[in-house]
Amino acid sequence: MKALLLVAHGSRREASNDEVRKLTDCLRRQSGQRFGDVRCAFLELADPSIPDGIEQCIEAGAAEVVVVPYFLSAGRHVVQDIPEQVALKQKQYPDRDIQIVDYLGTAPGLVDTLLGLATAPEGSA
Amino acid sequence: MKALLLVAHGSRREASNDEVRKLTDCLRRQSGQRFGDVRCAFLELADPSIPDGIEQCIEAGAAEVVVVPYFLSAGRHVVQDIPEQVALKQKQYPDRDIQIVDYLGTAPGLVDTLLGLATAPEGSA
């Protein structure tokens, strides 16, 4: 079974963490048959941590965990912190395939998503 | 003429700011006839500032400026800081229509964009 783990930064503002959790619910609903388990984890300031999130995926039966960094730029968190935490879990579970895909800021669909916002009939302002 | 102003947080890491500038170039290319001017601005740590970005749009001939917050959650920056800076420019230019649309984290296309990343054949890891 393949799991998707959305990894966000985490915030002291719990409502921001809840936004990530709600987005994860939407991901779960829309993922169809592609992922048998869809969860989120946080680099810091919120639970679960990245190692705990990966652990949960494995406990749920995932042979493969796809880590999706919910980040807009390739700063230290994306380049160093997330890979380090993932590598430790990969070492702990050598028989599972834990891979990190490109972070959100590089997504091919991002431009259309932003243009969609910009041309929506009603904004939030 | 209608302008699109993508507003990012800004970073001490100039490569992150350049990512926003490159994304803005993509937005400009893909916006077609919808926007006569596409630019970016930064809340802090990078240039141009939000007021300067709006000013540039108006100097370019924009009667309408659509501000798109390139943010993932509705923290203080989205709820307070950006609206405050935009309101000051709106007051300065009462004959222009400067509106803020929903921030990226609320975009309907975001779920598909993330699923696209998660199922891409090759990740960056």
> Which of A70, A101, A120 is facing B102, going by the closest CB pair?
A120
- Best probe of the B interface among A31, A72, A82, A100, by most B CBs < 10 A, is A72
Kindly give the interhelix angle for B14-30 and A110-118, rounded to the nearest 10 degrees: 70
A with B: how many residue pairs have Cβ under 8 Å apart?
155
Helix spans in A14-94 (H)? 14-30, 50-59, 76, 82-92
Q: What is the pLDDT of residues B59-96, one digit of tens each?
A: 999 999 999 999 999 989 999 999 999 999 999 999 99
The residue-averaged pLDDT of A112-116 equals: 95
Catalytic residue status for A77: no
Shortest Cα distance, chain A CAs vs residue B81, angstroms: 13
**Cis link prior to A94 (omega < 30° from 0)?**
no
**% helix / strand / coil in chain A, to the nearest 5?**
45, 20, 35
DSSP state of B79: I
Q: What is the pTM of this model?
A: 0.92
> Which of B4, B26, B75 is facing A118, going by the closest CB pair?
B4
Residue of B nearest to A99 (CA): B125
Q: What are φ and ψ of residue B109, in 5° steps?
A: -80, -5
Distance separating alpha carbons of residues B26 and A112, to the nearest angstrom: 10
Q: What is the pLDDT of residues B22-66, one digit of tens each?
A: 999 999 999 989 999 999 999 999 999 999 999 999 999 999 999
Model pLDDT, residue A123 = 44
The ipTM, to two decimals, is: 0.93
Q: With CB atoms and an 8 Å threshold, state whether A114 touches B68.
A: yes
The beta strand positions in chain B, using DSSP E, are 2-8, 37-42, 64-69, 97-100
Nearest to B9 by CA among B65, B60, B78: B78
Distance separating alpha carbons of residues A39 and A21, to the nearest angstrom: 8
Nearest to B71 by CA among B98, B38, B37, B101: B101
List, in sequence order, every residue forming a beta bridge with A4; answer none if it has no partner.
A38, A66
Contacts of B113 in chain A (CB under 8 A): 104, 107, 109-110, 113
Q: With CB atoms and an 8 Å threshold, state whether A106 touches B112.
A: no
Q: Indicate whether B121 pLDDT > 80.
A: no
